[in-house]
Amino acid sequence: MTATYQRIVLASRPQGWVTPENFRLERVPVPAPGPGQVLVRNHYLSLDPYMRGRMEESKSYAESQKLGETMIGGTVGVVEASNNPGFAAGDTVLGMFGWQEYGLSDGTGLMKVDTRAVPMSAYLGAVGMPGVTAWYGLNRICRPKAGETVLVSAASGAVGSVVGQLAKHAGCRAIGIAGGQEKCDYVVSELGFDACIDHRRHGDVKSMARALREAAPNGIDGLFENVGGVCLDGALACMNPFGRIALCGLIAGYNGQDIAIHHVRALLVMRLELRGFIVSDHMADWPQALTELGRGVATGKIRYRETIADGLAAAPEAFIGLLQGRNFGKQLVKLA
């Protein structure tokens, strides 16, 4: 009897909100690694907002995900069998195997990670792509100086939580925006932000701007934007001259629609700099970022929270929850 494993493929493209019907669970045989190949048993799958873009036909950061193909995604797992001299059975490896329990690779794009001081799953979060995203946007675009104020939306999430903690380490006032009192409390009391605004209590730009002005009495110098919409427009009303905006995500519009920026004049009048970025364009910065983030997690200076769905079959619902902000911290799927 051949051993089998599960994978999830893109069944159809979403019309507006993503639904469970956009995915299909399949069962396929576990392959045997060929010459030079490595077989990995994936332990955790990372769910990230960028996947929403790949499900669209429209041009996004990168190629669309093809129908019938395994959903893209970052994974961390353990080598089960290897014909590649660079990897041995038992090695913990980070890869992009997608939404599936096993992965086969010639070693390209596979990275061994050290799980002695940093838990395996952190390599998908604070010491992985989300952490580097936070590091890059903050250090390379927001470029905060000690004493300045940094605002980040989706502050309890995998990226936002790191942004705020790094901003604090840099001597800044860190303000967050998150959905719900529980997340806001966590952001302030556990992550050490100076303040956090519940966007559910400030559904319009005026109200959001008022809350931001209170939380950031000296104005905002660096904005790390994950959300867009009311968060972004509210923040634009509070930016200081020569402020920097790292545009990392527009999750407010992840069900497909475009959400306008209304407070455009602030970009001109305050001479703001706004830059959209994708962390994979900046591979040269990854080693430094990962070193700093790994040290931060190992020493407890960077804290994070995970929401872990159990088993691959739970991935679609967990992903939909992520797009709707139901997760709390980094959203993972436990595969083994």
Among residues 229 and 296, whose Cβ is nearest to its own copies?
229
Site for its own copies in 272-301 (CB under 8 A): 272-278, 281
Pick the stretch among 55-63, 73-81, 94-102, 161-169 that binds its own copies (CB under 8 A).
55-63
The answer to whether residue 270 forms part of the interface with its own copies (CB under 8 A) is yes
- CA dist 281 to 57, 218, 223, Å? 21, 33, 20
The answer to whether residue 240 forms part of the interface with its own copies (CB under 8 A) is no
Pick the stretch among 7-15, 172-180, 244-252, 321-329 that binds its own copies (CB under 8 A).
244-252
Structure-token match 């706004």, residue found: 274
How many Å is the Cα radius of gyration of the chain?
20
The answer to whether residue 253 forms part of the interface with its own copies (CB under 8 A) is yes
Pick the stretch among 65-73, 117-125, 196-204, 258-266 that binds its own copies (CB under 8 A).
258-266
Of the residues 259, 298, 308, 314, which one makes contact with its own copies according to CB under 8 A = 259
State whether residue 88 is helix, strand or coil: coil
What does the alpha-carbon distance between residue 84 and residue 86 come to, in Å, rounded to a whole number?
A: 5
The answer to whether residue 271 forms part of the interface with its own copies (CB under 8 A) is yes
111-112 and 92-95 strand pairing: antiparallel
Of the residues 12, 15, 32, 61, which one makes contact with its own copies according to CB under 8 A = 61
What does the alpha-carbon distance between residue 9 and residue 25 come to, in Å, rounded to a whole number?
A: 7
Among residues 103 and 249, whose Cβ is nearest to its own copies?
249
106: tokens are 């010639």
- CA dist 46 to 99, 243, 263, 309, Å? 9, 32, 34, 10
Interface with its own copies by CB under 8 A: which residues? 53, 59-61, 228, 247-250, 253, 258-265, 267-278, 281
